[in-house]
């Protein structure tokens, strides 16, 4: 009897191990699918501004680049609000789906729409009435004021489109349709590039043409995302709203780290613009704009990697699957380091060619400053990738306080004093301040991770 029982137990154990192995393999396949699609989508979104940078550089020149870079912080803020609503509600959606709480899922969707609408209208009103004052606050002088105002006013009028596009994209991705979410991002980005060319070079619409192309892109994205509802693939839909402040609070709490990333990025751009204007003037801001926009494209890859991981880690967290959580975290961190090495090597070798693409007037100062910036600032990519992955990981397991701490460290607490102090060394100090803050944030993030594992 004991022998048969032992055989039966051994068979059950082996079967359980085999099932576990099969489940891990399925999870790995889903992980690869999600991160590939998410990286493509995030890169597509980053091309919104990169396309503007390229076409403005070619069609308008150095002053246009300066105006664009001065207005970028506002775009970051708007984009961040959309991410906050999308990621916050998306995390709740993934967790609630595990418990089959469909009524609460629908309420999460309704509250997301309500919050996005209120914030969007406030931005529209501000853009119409106060764009000139805002442009001055951002550092625009008389030479670039008009172009800066045009960019700001147009972007802010289209705020609802940006917010709902980002929010719905995250929701659709968390609703088991990452392919459609990625398609919407890519098509919208490609149309932005096409419209940039048409409006700037064929229609001669100048700065308004560039920003109008950018503003039409999220409308195209929304039209594609609507297929998720038209084909009835959605597990959430509008219902009668039962307003709950606690639900608004929870969405904001879970999504706040994602918004904080964008806001801190915008604040860094604003701070660097202010410091650089004092050191080298408008041409320095233009050079920083070139380096910064390529940096944002590279960071978008890490955002895509982390956002691709997020639905799966939230799902594993909701089902208390610790082994999958550890596996997903390790795979994502390893991939981020491999990507960092590849990007840095590519940018280091090709920094001269990249700079030339955005230097139509062949300005030697812009050329020298940008190449220097690529080689120094991009060292920070190795640590930025780790920081972004850790931040999203902590957010996805409802540890928003830890995530917010990391974001504040790399986006405000460390970068602000580092850039102000190192700016005494000139532009080299400006470039070096970002890698320094990323390195210190990584040390704190890994310490939090170690403590979190010990507590769990």
* 366-401 pLDDT, tens digit each: 999 999 999 999 999 999 999 999 999 998 887 888
Residue closest to 266 by CA, chosen among 48, 6, 51, 80: 80
- pLDDT of 107 strictly over 90: no
Name the band, by pLDDT with cuts 50, 70 and 90, for residue 126. Answer: very high
Per-residue tokens: 218: 């999220």
Least confident of 80-94, 159-173, 215-229: 80-94
Full-model pTM:
0.73
Name the band, by pLDDT with cuts 50, 70 and 90, for residue 2. Answer: very low
61: left (phi over 0), alpha (psi -120 to 50) or beta: left
Predicted confidence at residue 19, as pLDDT, reads 66
- Give 29-88 pLDDT, tens digit per residue: 888 888 888 888 777 777 766 777 888 888 888 888 888 888 988 988 898 898 899 888
Mean pLDDT of the chain: 87
- Give 254-297 pLDDT, tens digit per residue: 888 778 878 888 888 889 989 999 999 889 988 998 898 899 88
Give me the residue label for tokens 């608004």: 248
Whether the CB-CB separation of 389 and 340 falls below 8 Å is answered with no
Distance, in Å, from the CA atom of 7 to the CA atom of 21, rounded to the nearest integer, reads: 21
For the segment 134-140, the average pLDDT, to the nearest whole number, is 91
For the segment 110-117, the average pLDDT, to the nearest whole number, is 90
- pLDDT of 218 strictly over 90: yes
Higher local confidence (pLDDT), 344 or 286? 344
241: left (phi over 0), alpha (psi -120 to 50) or beta: beta
Residue closest to 58 by CA, chosen among 194, 206, 165, 188: 206
């Amino acid at each position: 009897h004991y022998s048969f029982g032992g055989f039966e137990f051994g068979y059950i154990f082996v079967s359980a191990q085999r099932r576990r192995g099969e489940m891990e393999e399925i999870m790995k396949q889903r992980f690869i699918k999600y991160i590939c699609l998410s990286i493509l989508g995030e890169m597509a979104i980053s091309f919104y501004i990169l396309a503007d940078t390229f076409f403005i550089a070619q069609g308008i020149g150095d002053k246009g680049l300066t105006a664009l870079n001065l207005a970028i912080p506002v775009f970051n803020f708007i984009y961040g609000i959309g991410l906050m609503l999308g990621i916050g509600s998306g995390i709740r959606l993934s967790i609630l789906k595990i418990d089959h709480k469909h009524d609460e899922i629908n309420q999460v969707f309704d509250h997301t729409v309500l919050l996005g609408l209120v914030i969007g209208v406030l931005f529209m009103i501000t853009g119409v009435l106060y764009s000139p004052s805002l442009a001055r606050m951002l550092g625009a002088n008389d030479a670039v004021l008009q172009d800066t105002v045009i960019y700001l006013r147009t972007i802010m009028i289209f705020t609802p489109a940006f917010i709902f596009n980002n929010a719905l994209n995250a929701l659709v991705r968390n609703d088991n349709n990452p392919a459609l979410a990625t398609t919407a991002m890519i098509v919208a980005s490609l149309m932005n590039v096409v419209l940039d060319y048409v409006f700037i070079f064929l229609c001669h619409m100048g700065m308004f043409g560039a920003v109008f192309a950018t503003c039409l892109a999220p409308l195209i994205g929304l039209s594609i995302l609507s297929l998720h509802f038209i084909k009835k693939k959605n597990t959430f839909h509008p219902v009668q709203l039962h307003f709950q402040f606690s639900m608004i609070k929870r969405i904001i709490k879970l999504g706040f780290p994602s918004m904080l990333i964008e806001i801190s990025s915008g604040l860094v751009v604003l701070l660097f613009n202010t410091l650089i204007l004092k050191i080298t003037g408008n041409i320095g801001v233009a050079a920083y704009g070139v380096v910064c926009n390529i940096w944002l494209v590279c960071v978008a890859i890490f955002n895509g990697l982390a956002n691709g991981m997020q639905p799966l880690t939230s799902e594993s967290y909701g089902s208390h699957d610790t082994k999958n959580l550890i596996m997903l975290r390790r795979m994502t961190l390893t991939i981020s380091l491999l990507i960092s090495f590849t990007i840095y090597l590519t940018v280091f070798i090709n920094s001269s060619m990249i700079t030339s693409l955005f230097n139509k007037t062949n300005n030697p100062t812009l050329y020298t400053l940008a190449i220097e910036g690529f080689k120094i600032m991009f060292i920070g990519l190795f640590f930025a990738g780790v920081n972004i992955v850790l931040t999203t990981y902590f957010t996805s397991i409802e540890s928003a306080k830890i995530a917010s701490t990391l974001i504040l460290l790399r986006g405000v607490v460390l970068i602000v004093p580092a850039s102000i102090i190192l700016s005494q060394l000139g532009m080299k100090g400006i470039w070096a301040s970002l890698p320094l803050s990323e390195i210190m944030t990584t040390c704190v993030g890994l310490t939090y991770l170690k403590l979190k594992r010990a507590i769990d």
